[in-house]
Chain A
Amino acid sequence: MEATVEGKTPTEDGTPTTSQGAGPFEPKIIAFVCNWCTYAAADLAGTSRIQYPPNVKIVRLMCSGAIDPIYVLRAITGGFDGVLIGGCHPGDCHYQTGNYKARRRVTILKEILKSVGYDEERVWLRWISASEGGAFAATVSEMVEALKSHGPNVLTTNWNK
C-alpha cells in the first residue's frame, strides 16, 4: 500500500516528507539524546554554526538509559528511516550506569530486529559528549549517507503492520 499524499511518505506526526517519489530520497532520522551530553553537543553544533543535514529530529531524554525499545519500534513503524540514540561516553553517565544499560537494551533490540529480518543498521547508538559538537554533526551526516544507501524504510509505507 502506497502513501496517500501524492509522491510523499506520511509520518506519524502528520508531517509529509519528500522521502519518496519527488526528488532524491532524504532519510528521516529521529534522535533520542541524553540531556547531559549528546543534547548539549547538538546545541553546541548549532551555536558553533557547524553545518549538518536537516534530516534529524531531536528528542531529549534525561539519560540514554531512559530509552525504551518501544520508542524505537514506534519510530521505525511510524515513518522514520533511522533512529539515533546518543549517550555519554562509558564512565561518564551522570547517573553512573544508564549508558551501560542502554547498550545492553539496544544490543538486545538490534539482535531481535536482525532475527526477524529487519535492517537493524537503521538503529545507531553513539557516545557523544557535551563538547563534541563536531562529532554530533559528523555522526548525523554519516548516518544520512548510510541511510541513503539503505533506501527508504519498508515499514513506512506498509500499513499492514
Chain B
Amino acid sequence: MKKRLKLDSNGHGMEEALGRLARLMISTGGVDRVFIPQHDETGEAVYATLVADVDALKDPAPLVPYINGNKGREAGLSTPKNGENKTAVFVRPCEARAIIELSKLMQAHRESMLLITSDCPGTLTLEDYKRLREEHPDHREEVAAFYAPFHGGERLEGHEVRECCTFCESLAHPMSDIRLLLVGAPEGTVVVEATSEAGERVLSKLEMEEAAEVDEAVREKFTEGQKSRHAEMEAHWDEVVHSVEDFMHLVQHCRRCYNCRAECPICYCRECVFQTATFEVTPDAFGRRADQYGVVKMPPDTLVFHLTRMNHMVTSCVSCGQCTEACPQKIPVGKIFSAVGRRVQDVFDYRAGADTADELPHAVFREDELEPR
C-alpha cells in the first residue's frame, strides 16, 4: 500500500496548501529547489518559476486551469545533471510525459527531479481562462469552482477544456515520485501519494495526517471516459482522412510560421532543418518550379513540412496540444499529431511519455523485425 497523506486546504485554497507542501519540502531538506507555476504580482498571469528561497514562493498556482505552454521543457532545462541538486517539479500529466520523452532524448534529467504530478481536469485556452476569471475574480474561488465537480470525476459545465485535454488518457502520472490525487478525494482536499521510494523519503520528513481512501471507482470511471474519447478521436480521423488531399485540406491554411514547432516540447533541436539550406528555395528554384508546374505556392512545401515534423517527433508526441494553442490559423495540429502519433507508436507497441524504460522507436532496432517491408 502506497503512503497517502491528506492535505487540507483549511480555507486557504488547495493551491496555498500545495505551496505549503512545497515550502516544507525545501525547509526539511527533502529538495533543494521547487519548480512550480506562480501568479505574477498582478494576479492575472501565470508563469513557471524555479524557487530556491521559500519566501519567494508567494502565490503558487499549480492547479490553475491554464498552462502557458508545456513546461516539461523548462523543467528539463532548469534541472542539473546527475541529481546533485534535487528539484521538486510540480507539473501536469502532459508535462510529465514530455519530461519522460525529453529524458530519453537527453534533454532533461529525470533523476534530478522529484516528479510531482497532479490529477488534471484539463486546461482552458487563454481566452476561456480569462472568461473564467471574470466569473470568479478571486483566484482561490476560481480554482475551487473549477475543481469542485472534478473530485466526483466530472468537469465544470460551461467551460470546455482544450481539445487535446478532452482525450488525455492519464490522471496523475503513474511514473511520478509523488502524485496529487484530486479525483475521488473529498472536496477541498488533496491526497498526496508517495508513488516511488524517493517520494516516500521526502514525504516521511513531513508531519502530515494519513489520508482516508480515495474513491478508486470514480477514478476508474473518469479514465475510462477519457480513453473512449481517445478512441472516438481516432475513429473520427479514419472517417475524415481518406486521401492525402483530405489531409492537405486539414492543413490548407497553414502559413508556415513554425509556431507549432516552436511550442512543441519535443521539438528541441537548436537548428531546425526547416530553417537550414535544405528548405531554402532560391529565386532560381522558385522560377524552375513555376516553369514546371505553371504555378507555385508561396511559401511552398506545407505538406513536406508537416510530414517531416511528424517523421522527426510523432513517435514522441505527448498530445499536450500546445501546437494547437500556438497556431494562428486555428489548425487542430495537436489532434492531427495525436491521431497520427498513436498509429505510428502502435507499430512499435510504444506510448510516448509512459515510461522511461521504453526505448524510443527511432533510437533502437531489433535484428529480426518489421519484415516484410
Contacts and interface: CB of A to CB of B under 8 A. Distances in A.
A105 B243 CA distance: 22
Contact of A124 (B291, B303, B304, B373): B373
B307 A113 contact: yes
Contact of A159 (B297, B343, B365): B297
Interface stretch (A33-41, A68-76, A132-140, A141-149): A68-76
B362 A105 contact: yes
A104 B245 contact: no
A144 B33 CA distance: 63
B248 interface: yes
Contacts of B248: 158, 160-161
B303 A155 contact: yes
Nearest to A112: B310
A109 B373 contact: no
A130 B90 CA distance: 57
A158 to B, nearest CB: 7
B344 A115 contact: yes
A124 B373 CA distance: 7
A60 interface: no
Contact of A115 (B288, B297, B343, B361): B343
A125 interface: yes
Interface stretch (A4-12, A22-30, A48-56): A4-12
Interface in B271-307: 273, 278, 288-289, 291-297, 300-304, 307
Interface string B122-152: 0000000000000000000000000000000
A101 interface: yes
Contacts of A125: 373
B308 interface: yes
B288 A14 contact: yes
A159 B370 contact: no
What size tier do the contact residues of chain B reach? Answer: 35 or more
B242 interface: yes
A107 B242 CA distance: 20
Given A70-B304, A103-B365, A112-B340, A11 B292 contact: yes
B370 A158 contact: no
Nearest to A69: B311
Interface in B229-284: 237, 241-248, 252, 273, 278
A103 B370 contact: yes
Given A77-B303, A103-B365, A4 B246 contact: no
B303 A161 contact: yes
B286 to A, nearest CB: 13
A90 interface: yes
B293 A154 contact: no
B370 A10 contact: no
Nearest to A159: B293
Interface of A: 1-5, 10-12, 14, 69-70, 73-74, 77, 79, 90-91, 97, 100-101, 103-119, 124-126, 154-155, 157-161
Given A5-B292, A73-B308, 4 more contacts: A73-B307, A108-B315, A112-B314, A161-B301
CB-based closest 8 A-B pairs: A10-B292, A4-B294, A100-B365, A116-B247, A118-B244, A125-B373, A69-B311, A115-B340
23 contacts: A4-B293, A14-B291, A73-B307, A73-B308, A79-B292, A91-B367, A105-B311, A107-B347, A108-B347, A110-B373, A114-B343, A115-B339, A115-B340, A116-B241, A116-B244, A116-B247, A116-B340, A117-B242, A117-B246, A117-B247, A155-B244, A159-B295, A161-B300
